[in-house]
Structures are given as structure tokens and as C-alpha cells.
Amino acid sequence: MPGDTPSDSSKGDGGLVAKGVAGDNAAPLTITEISNLLKRTVEDRFGYVKLRGELSGVKRAASGHLYCCLKDEGAVIDGVMWRGPAQALAFVPEDGIEVVASGKLTTYPGRSKYQIVIERMEIAGEGALLALLEKTRRRLEAEGLFALERKRPLPFIPGVIGVVTSPTGAVIRDILHRLADRFPSRVLVWPVLVQGSGAPEQVAAALRGFAELAVGGAIPRPELLIVARGGGSIEDLWSFNEEIVVRAIAGSPIPVISAVGHETDTTLADHAADRRAPTPTAAAEIAVPVLRELAATLDEYRLRLGKCAHRPLALGRERLDARLLRMPRPETLVAQKAQKLDDAAERLRRGLADRAALARHALQDDRHRLSVPLLQANWRSATQRLDALDRMMRSLNPDSVLQRGYARVTDPTGRTLTTAAEAGKEPALTVRFRDGRLDVAPRIAGKKRAAERTPAAEQPKLL
């Protein structure tokens, strides 16, 4: 306005060019300078704090650093955890987990934000831990890792048993002693940490290592695996609730028995395993049968087999005895025939006696026909007829004339030849005389024809 002095205008709301104000010795700060001042102030004032809140926006960078937010009902603060502490976490951070984060507050000038650099992170109490456990369980169950149809039967007598546990502790000793008492077996122990940082990774690596062993190799591949550790709090057993261990158990091609904690302890490894054992000792009992009981069972089966083999024979004998009881005795079968034979013999005896009696009576009735003169007369008559037949037989005998100087000519068969023609046809002739026989050769054909031309009166007689 007219009349204003330059000094008066400098006291107004502002000018076109920044000018110093009387009595103001502070130079303007740069953004970096004020950011650094704020950073130092915050870090000096809040050098170490513990914050409780719910994780949100959890993500891991390729560098291994962990970025997240901690929130409650009214505020949010950013958080970062560098790679070293992040790798040492005893659990896998997830959204929704309530944690207690320890570290220092600082600012991030690049975004004009303050944040907490987390050096240690723990789950905020057992209730929060159980909530995380349930959340993880539901998620893995939804994937089917705990389904009953995935459970595989355990081998009855495994030749080699692999044990994933700590090599220094009562657990491995209990397992080995129990196996030795029940059924001595070959055991391969893969030593791992069972608690604390790195334990989940070692357990998962052991399960994968056993599965990668070649069948029939220098180190035999187990037929059964036991994952075991002693009892403890939920925090002590937390390694067996980690997703990496659960997936390794569920993906193992070898059947797995989970024996983590005591009977009342339950981990996600128990849900993923093919069989849960309440204690490591119980795992050994599940893994193998009792040798003595098995031998007794085999003996019983052997006896039952023998009984089964002899049972048909015994049944056959029983059936035969039953049938023999129903069959009549041999003497019973013969008794009727013997009685009939006795009856027939008696009838025969009586018949013969009756026949003899009848013949005796008939003979007595005809005794007048059997007188001595009559018998003599019949004998003389029969004798005369026999003498006549004898004389006739001697007269008809062809050799009877030989006594009177005749001879009889026969062929080789003994047939008598009566004509010269028959004699000429035979190859040989036999001439029978009174005192013997003479064999003669056949005549030649020329002489035979000459004999035929000689008159009958001149031919010699053949006697």
C-alpha cells in the first residue's frame, strides 16, 4: 500500500523471495537434514521397544529380509526384519498372527515414515500360538494332507527301520531297546535337531534323504520311518507343527510313524503321518511284532494246519464207523444162507433115506424076478451073444487072413489098398505079412505102363 516502508512489508505474510527476518539466526533445513534429525531423535528416545500386535502384509524379499505391519484396533506401524534374524525365527510369520516384536524404532526418510526394526519376534502367548496352530491345521487339512485315504498300511516286519530324531537323548535309546526286546531289527538313525532354529529344515531334509536312498544300495532304504522326540510344551514341539515338516511327512514314499511328545501331545506331524504313536516306545511296539508271540502264532497255525490236514481222514473214519454200525454183521448175512443150507441138507438126507427105503421096498417086491436060475439063464444067453460077436469080429479083421499066407497093402496112412490103380498113385506102400511089415518104393512110370499092357493072366498077383 502507498506509504508502506520496505521494513514494514517484510513483516507481512510472505514475499516473493525468501529473506531473513531480524533476530532469526536459524538457517533453513533440508529435507534430508530434518529426516536425519527425526531419525536420531526417534532412535535415541526409543532405542529399544517391545510391541504387541497382529501381523499384516507379511512378505519376504528376495534378499531374505522380512517386511510386515503390526496393528491393533487403532493404529498401524511398519516393521522390517533383516535377513539374519528372519532366518532364525522359530515359526513362519503369517498374516493374522499376534506377536510380540522387540527392536528399535527408526524412520525411513524415503517415505517419511517411522517403523520398527525387529530384532526378535515371538508369538504373543500360548493362546496366539494355538490360534496359529489351528489356522495352519485347517489350511493343510483343506489341501487333503490329513485325509484318511492317504494313510498307507505299515509293513508287518520291516527289514530296515529309519529313525529321525536327536542322537543324544533317551528317545533313541528307548526305541532301540524296545525293538531289541520285541523283534531285533536293523535301524538307521538320521540325527537332527528336534527343537529350535533349523530343526524343521533338518527333519524335513532327513525324511527326503531317506526317501532318496536307492533300493538295494550300499545304504539300504528303510521300509518304515519313525519321526520321534520326547515330550515338552507346545513351544518345544513347535518344529513338528511347521508346514515344511508336515509336507515332508505327507510326501514321503515310505510309511511314517509319528511319535512326538507324550500321549497327550498332538502335533500336525501326527495328522500327516500314516500312524501316530503316543510315545516313542509305543512307536517301536507298532513298528514290529513280538518275535515270541509270532513264533507262538506260527506254532498254533502249524497245529491248526495239521488238524485241518487230518480232519478229512478223521471225518472219513467217523463216517466209515457210522456206516459199519448200520451195516449187518457178516455172520448175520451168512446165517440165513447157512440155515437154508442146513434145511437143504436135512431135506437131502431125508430124501435119500426115503429114496433108499422106496428102492428097498421095490427090491423086496421084485425079489421073485431075481431068482438064481433066472439070473444064470440070462448070463448064459448074454455070454453066447458075446462069443458070437467075438467070432464075427475076428473073421472081419483084415489081418486075420495073414495067418494063412496072405499079405495086406496099405498107403502111408494105413489105409488098405485093394486095386493096382490105387497102389500106383501112392508115393510109398507098406506090405503087411504075418510076421511083420515091409516098406516098398513106388514103381517107375515105364514099368507101370508095361504092366498095364500085360494081359491079366500074365500079371503077378499082389497079395
- CB-based contact 121:81 (threshold 8 Å): yes
- CB-based contact 182:289 (threshold 8 Å): yes
Q: Are residues 318 and 436 in the same domain?
A: no
Q: Are residues 172 and 268 in the same domain?
A: yes
Q: Are residues 184 and 278 in the same domain?
A: yes
Q: Are residues 331 and 282 in the same domain?
A: no
Residue 95 CA from chain centroid, whole number: 51
The residue behind cell 526384519 is 81
DSSP state of 68: E
Residue bearing the bigger pLDDT, 330 or 192: 192
Whichever domain contains 46, its CATH number is: 2.40.50.140
Q: Which amino acid is at 365?
A: D
The domain of 99 spans 31-123
Tell me whether residue 18 is in a domain: no
Q: Are residues 160 and 257 in the same domain?
A: yes
User: Does the pLDDT of residue 71 top 80, yes or no?
Assistant: yes
Whichever domain contains 158, its CATH number is: 3.40.50.261
The residue behind cell 528416545 is 45
What are the pLDDT digits (tens) for 355-373?
888 888 877 776 666 666 6
Single out the residue of 93, 84, 119 nearest to residue 104, CA to CA: 119
- CB-based contact 96:129 (threshold 8 Å): no
What are the pLDDT digits (tens) for 134-162?
888 999 999 999 999 999 999 999 999 99
Q: Are residues 176 and 280 in the same domain?
A: yes
Q: Are residues 184 and 305 in the same domain?
A: no
34 pLDDT band, cuts 50/70/90, is confident
10 pLDDT band, cuts 50/70/90, is very low
Mean pLDDT over residues 101-113, rounded?
A: 84
Q: Are residues 420 and 332 in the same domain?
A: no
Tell me whether residue 8 is in a domain: no
Say what the pLDDT of residue 269 is: 93
User: Does the pLDDT of residue 421 top 60, yes or no?
Assistant: yes
Tell me whether residue 189 is in a domain: yes
Cα-based torsion angle of the residue sequence 197, 201, 203, 208 in order, rounded to the nearest 10 degrees: -170
Q: How many domains does the chain have?
A: 4
Tell me whether residue 12 is in a domain: no
The residue behind cell 446165517 is 335
